[in-house]
Structure 1
Amino acid sequence: MSSNSSPRPLVRLAPIGSQFSRRNPKILLGGSHQPTLLRYLDGWPRRQHGPHAFLIQFIDLHDTLERFGNDQFDLAVVQSPTAEDADGVIRHLTRIARQGLITRT
């Protein structure tokens, strides 16, 4: 290992198809183009037994994620933040959602 190399962070990617814990999963969609954001739910797993509904909350692209509690959502899809906002958005995204996706929508 050369002295110039830096250690790579360990990243564990969980598939969007992993099990969610609520009968009616809570989903946060953040961005300005809601129809495109809804398309990211296409193919997201549905429970096998009994009826259910997705509980979807939309937020504006410029809304802050700070106001949401830990693990409040089963899935969050947000538009790619600016470079200066990326650290905070990623920190809050991993805090508020069990699964998250950042998109370039």
Structure 2
Amino acid sequence: MNCPRPIVCLAPLPAARHAPRILLCGQHQPTLLRCLDGWPRRNGKATALAIRFVERGHDLSGIADDHFDLAVVESPSAAQAQAVIGHLVRIARQGLVRL
């Protein structure tokens, strides 16, 4: 049985001098990229993204606070959920846990 895709509304980022920094954490990178479909757009134009991929289970503790504009993380195991979500909140201005 497939889980329905969650409805997600990501806020636009304020104007910045850098390309938005995105963290995609998980095994299936094409699916994670689809979570970004249509984001971000300013004035109807697509924007270049600086994307960093990491494997699921990668230790996120070494990443600086507020380092990413957005993080997309595959659903962690129940044992890892608290730590992963804590790091997600710490390192990204916006976050999405993909179920």
2:3 matched residue in structure 1? none
Residues 12, 41 of structure 2: 8 Å contact kept:
no
Query: How many residues are matched?
Result: 91
1:28-85: CA deviation from partner (whole Å, max 9, x where unpaired)? 0000001000001102122339884100000000201111100000000000111111
Q: Is 1:62 aligned to residue 57 of structure 2?
A: yes
Amino acid corresponding to residue 89 of structure 2 in structure 1: T
| RMSD of equivalent CA atoms | 2.2
Amino acid corresponding to residue 63 of structure 1 in structure 2: H
TM-score, normalised with respect to structure 1? 0.77
Q: Among the aligned pairs, what percent are the same residue?
A: 50
Residues 20, 74 of structure 1: 8 Å contact kept:
no
1:18 matched residue in structure 2? 12
Runs of 4+ in 1 over 4 A off after TM superposition: 49-52
For the pair shown, the structure with the greater C-alpha radius of gyration is 1
Quick one: distance in 2 between partners of 1:51 and 1:16? 15
Residues 24, 54 of structure 1: 8 Å contact kept:
yes
Mind listing any 5+ residue stretches in structure 2 that lack a counterpart? 1-8
Cα offset, 1:25, TM superposition: 0.1
TM-score, normalised with respect to structure 2? 0.81
